Each structure stands twice: as C-alpha cells, then as structure tokens.
C-alpha cells in the first residue's frame, strides 16, 4: 500500500529568506536553516517516516518564483519513483499560467496545480484564477490550495471557504479542489462544503496529528472520512513528527478512518501495482492511501524523532517498516 504526503516542498534559499515565514519559525521552534532542504534530505525524511511518495510544490508569488516549475522538475528527476510535482503559476499573467500548466502538468510527473491565496492577497473567487481553473479541468488534474488561517505574516481572510471557495465550486462543478491546512477556524464552513460538493477534499498538512482541532477530528470521523488525505508541509514540519503516533501497533484511542480519493493518479512502475490500483486506459495507477490517523486529543507527550531512532535501534520496533495503512479506494479516476 502507498503512503503519500500530498503537501511538501523542497525549499529554495530565496523562499526561506522571506520575512513572512518568521511566525512559522517561532511556532515550530525551528531556525531558518531547517527550511532549506534537498532531494536527498527529503528522501531520508520520507524513509524515516515510511512515506513512499511526496508531492513537491512549486511556489509563485507577486515577487516571482520562490520555487519554480523548472526547479521542481529537476527535483522529481532526482527520484522519479518517489516524487510527483504540483505546478504553480503567475496569477498576474493568467494566460501565461495556462501555458505553464499545458507545458508541465502531464498527470505523471506533475499531477496538479497549487496556488496559495494568501501569498497573492487574492481570494480564490477572484477573476484572475478562473483561466487557471479551466486549464486544470482541461488537464484533468486537481487544483490545490490553502484554507483556514494564515501562519505566515499575511492576512487570513483569503482562507475563508464561504463565499470565496464556494463560488469556485459553484462555477466549476468539474474542478476537483484539494484544500490544505485543515481550514481552522472555519471548520463549520468546511463541513458545509463537504455536504454540498462531492469534488471537495481536504488534507492534514501543517498539523501534527495530535494537534488537529477537535472539530476537524470530528469531521474526519464523520462526514469527512472519505474526503481527508495526509499531508505534512515538509520541511516546515518534520514528516516523522507529523505521523509518529500513527505507528503505534496498539493506538491508545479510536482510529480516525480516512480514505484518500482518486483525484491524484500517480503513475508507477508495474511492479508497484497491488489491490489498491485501478486502470485508466492502457496504464495502471496507484491510488495513494494515507496512513492511519489516530485521535490523540488528551495525550500530553511527544517523542522526538531522535528518541524514536534510539528506540528502533534498541529493538523495540516502535515504528514498523511501513506504518499501518487504512482506507479504501473510492470513486474512479478524474477525467
């Protein structure tokens, strides 16, 4: 079974130096040097956490490329069986953005498009996004974005789901939207969109599992159980830090059962195909299945990854070679 992190990036030096990241460094008690990564360091973190594939984001803002599509393509080339890409675009030049999507997003190496609204201070129902949405529908790939409050020193208003994202889902019923970062404090609006739109999904990125808001945990246990997927926001958060509790063989409380939808189709070698695959034309695809997510509300302790390595070396097998995986393939491939 595949364990896929749907929100990661290999940060460039020019992105790591952006002043709006200061609050994230303070919240995570990490220095700016932790933001700088590489394919090698990312692969090592994935191996430690038991993650098979990471979706690497390009970033583009008003100041230009922070992580360019070309840079993400080179990162994918460093480990093409372990990395997939999410392209980004210049919203101020939407037709150039459409051409970028046509150039890069093939559903194989690049499997979607990501635009972060707070970076532009433009809500997702702004007219400049609309050619991008049309290009995503045409390419048969999801549009990935951010919902909820903004950790960096930027306005949070663009992360509201109603009316901004609701307008998009109404105007583009064929567009699959994958919203990252949980959506707090507007979880009620997240529930509303889940009921109303079958093409709306959410990932857990930017949160360690034990810190997920209680309302979001309730959503995952209930109506969102087939709409949640796993993400980390690597390297801002450690992959191991985000998933470590899921590796316990006997979780202390009830498991959160969540399934990843087939909106992301990752083409992999035939040797990787198992019962969780589906056919699309002449190719076989793997539907990414997230690791088991446990409700750790009320647990007051954490293990640092260094301690985990020591426990593993000591033979206590706190983390198996592949963390427990649950979930069912739902739906058919987009497009």
For residue 9, give the CATH number of its domain: 3.20.20.140
More confident of the two residues 199 and 250: 199
Would you say residue 330 lies in a domain?
no
- Given a cut of 70, whether residue 87 has pLDDT beyond it is yes
Domain count, the chain: 1
Would you say residue 334 lies in a domain?
no
Domain range for 194 = 4-313
Given a contact cutoff of 8 angstroms between Cβ atoms, the answer to whether 140 and 334 are in contact is yes
Distance (Å, rounded) from C-alpha 244 to C-alpha 240? Answer: 5
What CA–CA distances, in Å, run from 15 to 32, 58, 235, 283? 10, 11, 12, 36
Would you say residue 14 lies in a domain?
yes
3-58 tens-digit pLDDT: 889 999 999 989 888 877 777 666 655 655 667 889 999 999 999 988 999 999 99
Phi-psi region of 182 (alpha: psi -120 to 50; beta: other; left: phi over 0): left
The percent of residues above 70 in pLDDT, for the chain, comes to 69
Would you say residue 52 lies in a domain?
yes
In this prediction, residue 79 carries a pLDDT of 97
Would you say residue 327 lies in a domain?
no
Phi-psi region of 315 (alpha: psi -120 to 50; beta: other; left: phi over 0): left
Would you say residue 324 lies in a domain?
no
Residue at token pair 């640092």 = 304
Residue at token pair 């889902």 = 169
Query: Residue 334: which of 178, 204, 224 has the closest Cα?
Result: 178
Helical (H) or strand (E) element with 237: none
In this prediction, residue 284 carries a pLDDT of 30
Would you say residue 328 lies in a domain?
no
pTM of this prediction?
Answer: 0.77
Dihedral angle, C-alpha 262, 263, 265, 266, nearest 10 °: -100
Distance (Å, rounded) from C-alpha 164 to C-alpha 193? Answer: 11
Given a contact cutoff of 8 angstroms between Cβ atoms, the answer to whether 114 and 91 are in contact is no
In this prediction, residue 267 carries a pLDDT of 46
Would you say residue 332 lies in a domain?
no
Interval 230-258 mean pLDDT: 60
Dihedral angle, C-alpha 94, 98, 101, 106, nearest 10 °: 160
How many whole angstroms from its chain centre is CA 296? 21
Strands 283-286 and 277-280 turn out to be antiparallel
């Amino acid at each position: 079974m595949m364990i896929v992190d749907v929100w990661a990036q290999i940060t460039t030096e020019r992105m790591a130096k952006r002043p709006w990241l200061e609050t994230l460094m303070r919240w995570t008690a990490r220095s700016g040097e932790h933001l700088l990564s590489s394919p090698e360091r990312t692969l090592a973190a994935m191996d430690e956490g038991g993650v098979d594939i990471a979706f690497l984001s390009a970033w583009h803002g008003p100041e230009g490329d922070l992580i360019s599509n070309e840079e993400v393509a080179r990162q994918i080339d460093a480990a093409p069986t372990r990395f997939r890409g999410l392209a980004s675009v210049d919203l101020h030049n939407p037709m150039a953005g459409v051409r970028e999507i046509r150039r890069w997003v093939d559903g194989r190496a690049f499997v979607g498009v990501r635009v972060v609204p707070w970076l532009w201070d433009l809500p997702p129902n702004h007219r400049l996004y609309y050619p991008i949405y049309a290009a995503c529908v045409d390419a048969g790939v999801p549009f990935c974005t951010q919902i909820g409050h903004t950790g960096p020193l930027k306005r949070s208003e663009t992360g509201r789901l109603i009316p901004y994202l609701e307008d998009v889902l109404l105007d583009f019923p064929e567009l699959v939207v994958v919203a990252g970062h949980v959506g707090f404090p507007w979880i009620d609006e997240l529930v509303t969109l889940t009921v109303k739109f079958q093409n709306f999904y959410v990932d857990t990125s930017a949160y360690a599992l034990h810190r997920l808001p209680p309302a979001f945990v309730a959503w995952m246990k209930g109506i969102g159980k087939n709409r949640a997927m796993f993400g980390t926001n690597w390297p801002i958060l450690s992959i191991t830090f985000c998933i470590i509790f899921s590796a316990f063989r006997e979780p202390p409380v009830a498991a959160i059962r969540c399934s990843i939808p087939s909106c992301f189709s990752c083409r992999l070698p035939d040797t990787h195909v198992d019962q969780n695959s589906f056919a699309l034309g002449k190719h076989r695809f793997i539907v990414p299945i997230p690791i088991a997510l446990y409700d750790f509300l009320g647990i007051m302790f954490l293990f640092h990854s260094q301690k985990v390595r020591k426990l593993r070396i000591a033979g206590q097998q706190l983390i198996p070679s592949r963390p427990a995986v649950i979930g069912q393939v739902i739906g058919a491939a987009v497009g």
